Structure 1
Amino acid sequence: MRRNRNLSKSDFRKVFADNVSSADKDMVVLAQRNQFYYSRLGLAISKKYASRAVDRNRLKRVIRESVRLNQPLLSSLDIIVINRKGLVKRSNKEIFMALDRHWQKLNQKFN
């Protein structure tokens, strides 16, 4: 949904300035509590590590779907996902599994 997107520059700045992070070799996930009952997602998918538009769009689609499926676990969070070099080479299933690990880790840190 549109309301679940982190679009403004100030939202990104707030999360980058004060966050809880979870990282692996393929991605970094930053999160911060928000005042809403739902989570908001921001994506920083770099052309440097995903040069083709089709790859960037696939990554964004998979990440958005993972957030949608884990909405109860991620309520009231502003989340930013940043790709690293190897993420584009991973299958959708591998990305889903990695994101599930990140969501569990963030849930433990916030609860």
Structure 2
Amino acid sequence: MNKLAFPRELRLLTPEHFNSVFQQPHRAGSPHLTILARNNKLGQARLGQAVPKKQIKLAVDRNRFKRQVRESFRLRQHELPSKDFVVIAKKSANDLSNDELRTLLDKLWLRLSRPPRKR
């Protein structure tokens, strides 16, 4: 199997998967998007996305955003810790170019790969 594939096992599919991430997540955010992360015991990172119509109106723009997030995750999946990630779009995410979005995602993946700081 291709090491950089994005098979079904690497996706958050059910409401239970998403709800588990929403409870006590580690967060990394920017004015354009937020990534929530929660440890899993699966030995691999998984991705879920929340891109509401209220935030990004046009389907073509929502799909572009999701495609860029998926591609960024696919290329970085082996560098990421064993966590479930949920990417949540904000209104201003639509103003980013593809390159800006990829750069921002790379920075946030890196931040979430480090152990959380003690408060």
Aligned residues: 111
Cα distance in 2 for partners of 1:91, 1:109 equals 30
| Aligned residue number for residue 42 of structure 1 | 48
Q: Which of 70, 91, 95 is the aligned partner of 1:85?
A: 91
In the alignment, what sits opposite 1:69?
Answer: 75
Which of 21, 24, 27 in structure 1 is aligned with 2:30? 24
Aligned to 1:96: 102
Letter in 2 for 1:14: S
TM-score normalized with structure 1 length: 0.94
Q: Deviations over 1:16-60 (max 9, x none)?
A: 012100011000000011111211111000101211111111111
CA positional deviation for 1:75: 3.6
Aligned equivalent of 2:3: none
Deviations 1:61-111 (A, max 9, x none): 00000001111221411000000111011111000000011011101135x
Q: Report what 1:59 is aligned to.
A: 65
* Counterpart residue type for residue 60 of structure 1: K
Hey, what's the Cα distance between the residues in 2 that align with 1:61 and 1:3? 18
Which has the higher Rg, Structure 1 or Structure 2?
Answer: 2
Question: What residue ranges of structure 2 are gaps of 5+ in the alignment?
Answer: 1-6
TM-score (norm 2): 0.88
Whether the 8 Å CA contact 2:81–2:113 is kept in 1: the answer is no
Deviating beyond 6 angstroms after TM superposition, the runs of 4 or more aligned structure 1 residues are: none
